């Protein structure tokens, strides 16, 4: 079963990590979410942000920098309860692009979907210069 969000196909599945309510955006194909999240506007906006990243920074940068970084961050978060995937630059920049695209919605969930780096977080929270100059 699928739906559309901002003209992007949204597929519902419980395969693999989606069974644990993870989600993934594959620009050019769609957004994959658990069926229980079909009304989760925050998650849909975030995943749509990954489509915006690909549009803004291109196919190669998205797939060889952003997607790989995001997958590594998600894997790290699965093994380390103190690590917050949404603070990874690949995630908060997707949030920021989506936040801007949707005209800074008043109901944006900043705690779950931050739009800027947390100064208390280090490591992979700082975006590459190519990204920072465009935000």
Asked if residues 54 and 25 have their Cβ atoms less than 8 Å apart, the reply is: no
CA 67 to chain centre: 10
**What phi, psi does 5 have (nearest 5°)?**
-135, 115
Give the integer Cα–Cα distance in Å for 52 and 55.
5
Answer with the residue of higher pLDDT: 80 or 127: 80
Which band of pLDDT confidence, cut at 50, 70 and 90, is reported for residue 30? very high
- pLDDT greater than 70 at residue 105: yes
d(CA 130, CA 75): 24
Q: Could you tell me if 93 and 73 are in contact, meaning their C-beta atoms sit under 8 angstroms apart?
A: no
Strand partners, 11: 2, 32
Question: What mean pLDDT, rounded, does the chain reach?
Answer: 90
- Mean pLDDT in residue range 62-71: 95
Q: What is the pTM of this model?
A: 0.91
Q: Which of 116-123's residues contact partners 24+ apart within 8 Å by CB, and which partners?
A: 116/92, 117/87, 117/89, 117/92, 118/87, 121/84, 121/87
């Amino acid at each position: 079963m699928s739906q559309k969000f901002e003209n992007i196909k949204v597929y519902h599945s419980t395969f693999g990590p989606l069974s644990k309510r993870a989600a993934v955006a594959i620009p050019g194909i769609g957004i994959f979410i658990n069926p229980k999240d079909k009304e989760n506007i925050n998650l849909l906006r975030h995943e749509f942000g990954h489509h915006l990243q690909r549009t803004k920074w291109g196919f190669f940068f998205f797939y060889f920098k952003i997607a790989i970084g995001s997958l590594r961050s998600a894997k790290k978060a699965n093994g380390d309860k103190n690590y917050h995937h949404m603070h990874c630059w690949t995630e908060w920049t997707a949030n920021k692009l989506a936040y801007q695209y949707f005209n800074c919605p008043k109901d944006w969930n900043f705690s779950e979907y931050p739009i800027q780096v947390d100064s208390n977080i280090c490591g992979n929270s700082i975006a590459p210069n190519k990204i920072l100059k465009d935000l």
